[in-house]
């Protein structure tokens, strides 16, 4: 049994034309209005995973489906939605945006879970030596994952004692490396790392520095300035006044 709306009555033919869709649409609209009346941006609500797509997951909030975009599923990067949630699972999500006219709700799952930078100072400190994985290479350095969700930057000048024009000359994505922590800035979500700080400086390089110091031209000594006091006269002085005792 179900409800339907009468669209047309044909007494001669003894026929009714009904619409089930209009009843469903009306009920859906009423339920949507009720749900939107209870929701507010910033609320944390419980919903059920209705379906999963390549760009995220749709969550049933009891009459309205909200979308958790791929970027809002986890603090980790480059993950698959299926690796985070499953259909039918109940999860807590935070409401990021509401658009009742379009019936759209933007949600976030990662906003309800601790981020990788929370309490990072207790996990990582200046001077620590840790192992990480090279995740990205750029012209100015390499990003190394030292903790789940935390990538630190090894600047190109910190990769090797040898001069390197591009990080690709010494590193590749997926490579395991040992790095030293130079700086941790939780507020800016930045970690500075160094590979060369764990390597001995080549002896040849030390010798070259000594040679450069030896070859560096010495600056001539400055001559001491001597102050000569000239005899005081009312109208000036003559050569005889200065050199009168010298025989030519």
Of the candidates 105, 106, 103, 104, the residue with the CA atom closest to the CA atom of residue 28 = 103
pLDDT band at 234 (very low <50, low <70, confident <90, very high): very low
Residues 6+ apart with CB under 8 A from 78: none
pLDDT-derived band of residue 175, with 50, 70 and 90 as boundaries? very high
Write the CA distances from 85 to 104, 191, 223, integer angstroms: 20, 30, 82
The pLDDT value recorded for residue 218 is 62
Structure tokens at 137: 């290479």
Specify the pairing of strand 190-194 against strand 141-147: unpaired
Quote the distance between the C-alpha of residue 132 and its chain's center. Answer: 17
Residues 150, 191 contacting (CB under 8 angstroms): yes
User: What is the model's pLDDT at position 244?
Assistant: 53
The pLDDT of 107-119, averaged and rounded, is: 88
Residue 95 is predicted with a pLDDT of 95
pLDDT of res. 58? 96
Alpha carbons within 13 angstroms on the beta-carbon side of residue 181 total: 22
**Can you say how many angstroms the Cα of residue 136 is from the centroid of all Cα atoms in its chain?**
12
pLDDT at res. 224: 52
> How confident is residue 233, by pLDDT bands cut at 50, 70 and 90?
very low
The 10s digit of each residue's pLDDT in 30-74 is: 878 888 888 899 999 999 999 999 999 999 998 789 999 999 998
Which pLDDT does position 216 carry in this prediction? 63
**By the 8 A CB rule, do 107 and 46 touch?**
no
CA 9 from chain center: how many Å? 65
Looking at residue 205, its pLDDT comes to 56
203-231 pLDDT, tens digit per residue, is 765 555 555 566 566 665 555 555 545 44
| CA-based R_g, the chain, Å | 39
pTM check: above 0.75: no
Residue whose C-alpha is closest to residue 65's, from 23, 42, 99: 99
Reported in sequence order, the residue ranges of the chain that DSSP labels E, i.e. its strands, are: 5-10, 15-19, 44-53, 56-60, 65-69, 90-99, 104-108, 129-137, 141-147, 150-155, 176-185, 190-194
pLDDT of residue 157: 94
């Amino acid at each position: 049994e179900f409800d339907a709306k009468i669209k047309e009555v044909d007494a001669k033919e003894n026929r009714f034309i009904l619409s089930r869709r209009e009843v469903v649409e009306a009920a859906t609209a009423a339920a949507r209005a009720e749900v939107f009346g209870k929701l507010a941006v910033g609320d944390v609500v419980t919903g059920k995973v209705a379906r999963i797509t390549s760009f995220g997951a749709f969550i049933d909030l009891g009459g309205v489906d909200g979308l958790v975009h791929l970027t809002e599923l986890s603090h980790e990067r480059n993950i698959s939605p299926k690796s985070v949630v499953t259909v039918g699972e109940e999860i807590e999500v935070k409401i990021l945006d509401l658009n009742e006219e379009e019936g759209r709700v933007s949600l976030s799952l990662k906003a309800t879970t601790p981020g990788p930078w929370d309490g990072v100072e207790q996990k990582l400190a200046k001077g620590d030596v840790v192992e990480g994985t090279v995740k990205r290479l750029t012209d100015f350095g390499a990003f190394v994952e030292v903790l789940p969700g935390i990538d630190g930057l090894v600047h190109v000048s910190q990769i090797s004692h040898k001069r390197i024009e591009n990080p690709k000359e010494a590193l590749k994505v997926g490579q395991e490396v040992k790095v030293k922590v130079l700086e941790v800035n939780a507020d800016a979500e930045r970690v500075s790392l160094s590979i060369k700080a764990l390597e001995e400086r080549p002896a040849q390089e030390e010798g070259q520095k000594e040679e450069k110091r030896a070859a560096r031209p010495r600056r001539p000594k400055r001559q001491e300035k001597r102050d000569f006091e000239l005899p005081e006269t009312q109208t000036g002085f003559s050569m005889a006044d200065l050199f009168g005792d010298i025989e030519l």
